[in-house]
Chain A
Amino acid sequence: MSAKQKKQAEGLTHEGRFYQADTLHTMHDSMLFIRRFEEKAGQLYGLKKIGGFCHLCNGQEAVPVGVHHASKPEDYMLTGYRDHGHILARGSDPTAVMAELLGRAGGIVKGKGGSMHMFDAARNFAGGNGIVGEQVPIGLGFGFSSWYRQDGRVTLCFFGDGAINQGAVYESFNMAALWKLPVVFVVENNQYAMGTSLGRASAETHLFKRGISFKIPGMQIDGMDVLEVERKMTEAIEHARSGEGPILVEAVTYRYRGHSMSDPATYRTREEVEEWRTGRDPIARLQVRMIEAGLASEESFKQKDKDIKKEVAAIAAAAEAMPEPDAAELYTDIYRDSIEGAYPYPGRVA
């Protein structure tokens, strides 16, 4: 066996699926990067360098990373306001994402969107939508475009356990199923819609069943296990791509931080948070598997963590050094086809 063949053979088999070592390292590093990135964002928020609303996804990293590995770059992706992890997993420039949080000219949307409105058209990442559930009909439209053009793309439409009670979601379920649009609806059930626990808001708490009356098949997956997310999402995406119509995936997950930076999360116990953190953490679980398979060691992961923290610190420093947007940006991107002089901007009139 050549060195190259040997390297290719390295990996681990989980639930009948073989993962190469390289893939596992990429998944791990990506999750850890998101975790450290979010921690840095939290710090910068504490220092008042990031303003407004800032929703961190610590604990939920396996969902975006697993989904990214299951999907193709040409597939469309949309989510709500907890979007940092998704856009980072998608491969967007982390410095531009951090610069966006800091309201800088070099931000991924030029400092015009902030935490809740991240977009990257080159990576088919369509937001970053701030109104709960708003992205679901929009995602339906992306799915419709693929049906219209028969382009073989799938739309991955993410929303939370709070959004699933919005009417827009069911309107979308109905049309997606009626026209068999290639959409995977993924509800990231992190147990709390802001401060309201699932059981206080939903009559049916098994969220994967919420598509039944639209004949949309549902599956519940462990959203704290990146390999399960990758495996089950591969099936779900295949279902949508094959023309079978939409599918609903409930990824059961947990956010370690409050709903947003201003939320001390007093509606849940310390014990509950600890139970998820220590027992089900997606990064720790993958590390244990990789160590058991002889693909890494505690030492190597410690070193990796140090490297990533350093990288994130450098990214934050680079983003902070960027200038604020030029004043002229205030009036750009309002209309694509501007009609000169037709829009009187504020200020003194002559």
Chain B
Amino acid sequence: MSKITFREALNQAMCEEMQRDENVFLMGEEVAEYNGAYKVSQGMLDKFGPKRVIDTPITELGFAGLGVGAAMAGLRPIIEFMTWNFAMLAMDQIVNAAAKMLYMSGGMYPVPIVFRGAGGAAARVAAQHSQCLENWMANVPGLKLAMPSNPADAKGLLKAAIRDNDPVIFIENEICYGDIADVPDGEYVIPLGKADVKRPGKDVTLISYSRMANYALEAAAELAKQGIDAEVIDLRTIKPLDEATVLASIAKTNHAVMIEEGWRFAGIGAEVSARIMEKGFDDLDAPVARVSGKEVPMPYAANLERMALPSVAEIVEAARVVCNRA
């Protein structure tokens, strides 16, 4: 166990997997000589050389497609998007090629690829560089989607993603890169599709993922002071979605709040709430509450930006409402 940052945990996962399997390589903008725009790939060029850590031109569609072809040919690419905002330029290769290739080819061409990079709102970078696009990815059959909230999960999930034989979308939160926590050394793999109960509780279930799972933990601490015992579920993997863990929790607490950083319309919370309605309806004492980002392009001004994002106070308030304690 070592205390390391989120970005170091990701780096460790990639390095260990590249040592383990020579078919794994890292490609993206500024990943090699610059050591990563967010320093996630720090030192990897020195360790693995220019054949396996490859700087690309700024050409997201092109290198995403290169990754798809390389994966079809049997390599295991890690394709880094500097941020997910830029992955939109590569959407055809992610959605039309990577996700569908196995099916269209009648099972002949698996695409073992990881598309990873920073997502979510950063700080003061405005509308085009601060957004959550995971619901787009979650909608497409053929893709898997992981979004860790802390360094240990980041390492374990990324190792699983690299070993997976399907395309995995791996979205890291830019604000979390500097977070420090205990991370197991060496072999530490968290299977995709397993949520984690980050805090047990009996009164209300707070369901979230990525950075918002940390907000949910803060909210739970505040709620405890107010006499409400919240259980916090970190989904960790959006697809496959671990609905069993969610439903088991709600069977116990009978109340649920879904928290996500992105826009509410057709968001991850919409899917999770619908599943709870379909399969856990009788366990609910109140409708599921949703806390989400406001439905606006991200503004620049500090006060407006703060308002656009979900807050711990909003989560606390939502939990009080569903528990009829408002």
Q: Which residues of A contact B (CB under 8 A)?
A: 76, 78, 107-113, 117, 119-121, 126-131, 134, 136-146, 148, 167-168, 171-172, 174-175, 178, 332-337, 339, 341-344, 349-350
Contact = CB atoms under 8 A, between A and B. Distances in A.
Contacts of A336: 102, 110, 112, 165-166
B326 to A, nearest CB: 31
A138 B69 contact: yes
Given A333-B106, A335-B142, A142 B69 contact: yes
A332 B105 CA distance: 11
B165 A337 contact: yes
B203 to A, nearest CB: 27
Given A110-B107, A119-B108, A120-B108, A141 B73 contact: yes
A311 B25 CA distance: 47
Interface in B166-201: 166, 191-193
Interface centre among A113, A141, A337, A342 (most CB of B within 10 A): A141
B20 interface: no
Contacts of A172: 62, 65-66
Contact of B69 (A117, A144, A341): A144
Interface stretch (B92-100, B147-155, B204-212, B284-292): B92-100
Contacts of B275: 344
Given A109-B108, A342-B193, A349 B278 contact: yes
Interface centre among A134, A143, A339 (most CB of B within 10 A): A339
Interface residues of B, number: 53
A150 to B, nearest CB: 10
A14 to B, nearest CB: 35
Nearest to A133: B92
B166 A171 contact: no
A112 B103 contact: yes
Contact of A168 (B62, B193, B279): B62
B80 to A, nearest CB: 15
B57 interface: yes
A134 B109 contact: no
Nearest to B243: A344
Report, nearest first, the 6 A-B pairs whose CB atoms are least far apart: A141-B69, A137-B65, A171-B62, A342-B240, A109-B106, A145-B73
Interface string B122-166: 000000000000000000011010000000000000000000111
Contacts of A134: 65, 92-93, 96-97
A126 B109 contact: yes
B71 interface: yes
Given A148-B51, A337-B165, A137 B106 contact: no
B65 A117 contact: no
B2 interface: no
A167 B57 CA distance: 14
A168 B97 CA distance: 13
A113 B192 CA distance: 28
B242 interface: yes
B18 interface: no
Contacts of B13: none
Given A109-B105, A142-B70, A172-B65, A334 B141 contact: yes
A172 B70 CA distance: 13
A109 B56 CA distance: 34
Contacts of B107: 110, 332-333
